[in-house]
A = this chain, B = another copy of it.
Amino acid sequence: MSDSKIRNMDDFASVSGISRPTISKYFNDADSVRKSTRERIEKALARYDYQPNFYAMNQNRRLTKNVGIVIPYMSDPFFAEIARNVENHVIAAGFRPIVLGSQGNPEQEIENLNNLRLIKPAGVLLAPLGRMSDSERIAAFCADVPTVLFDANIENVGEAFIGSDNEQSIGLIVEYLCRTGEPPAFFEMRKPTNPNALKRRNAYVRSMERSGHKPHLIQVEGEGWDFEEIGFREGSRVLADRTLPTDTILCSNDRLAIGLLSAAYQLGMPVGLGENCTLRIAGHDDHPFSRYTCPTLTTVSQDYTSIAKKSAETLFSLIETEQRAQSRETTLFDGRLVMRGSA
A interface residues, Cβ below 8 angstroms from B: 51, 53-56, 58-59, 74-77, 80, 114-115, 118-119, 228-229, 232, 258-259, 261-262, 265-266, 288-289, 291-296, 341
Chain B residues with CB under 8 A of A80: 74-75
Task: Provide a sorted-by-A list of 13 A–B residue pairs whose CB atoms are within 8 angstroms.
Answer: A53-B118, A55-B55, A55-B119, A56-B59, A74-B74, A74-B80, A228-B291, A228-B292, A229-B291, A262-B296, A265-B294, A293-B294, A294-B294
In the bound complex, what is the Cα–Cα distance between A238 and B165 (angstroms)?
A: 41
**Which residues on the B side are within 8 Å of A77 (C-beta)?**
75
* Known contacts A75-B74, A75-B75, A75-B77, A118 near B54 by CB under 8 Å: yes
How far apart are the CA atoms of A228 and B53 in the complex, in Å? 39
CB of B265 within 8 A of CB of A295, answer yes
Which residues from chain B contact A56 at a C-beta distance below 8 Å? 55, 59, 118
A59, B55: Cβ atoms closer than 8 Å: yes
* Chain B residues closer than 8 Å to A58, beta-carbon distance: 55
Q: Is the CB of B54 within 8 A of A115?
A: yes
CA distance in complex: A104, B262 (Å): 30
Inter-chain contacts of A259 with B (CB < 8 A): 292
Q: What residues on B are CB-neighbors of A265 within 8 Å?
A: 294-295
Scoring A58, A80, A292 by chain B CB atoms within 10 A of each residue's CB, the highest score goes to A292
| Residue in chain B with minimal CB distance to A255 | B292
Which residues on the B side are within 8 Å of A292 (C-beta)?
Answer: 228, 232, 258-259, 261-262
Instruction: Determine which residue in A58, A80, A228, A341 has the highest number of CB atoms from chain B within 10 A of its CB, and name it.
Output: A80
Q: Which residue of B is nearest A111, CB measured?
A: B51
Q: How far is the CA of A296 from the CA of B56 in the complex (A)?
A: 51
Bound-complex Cα distance A119 to B229 (A): 38
Excluding A75-B75, A266-B341, 9 further A-B contacts by CB distance (< 8 Å) are A54-B115, A55-B119, A74-B80, A75-B80, A228-B291, A258-B292, A262-B296, A266-B296, A293-B294
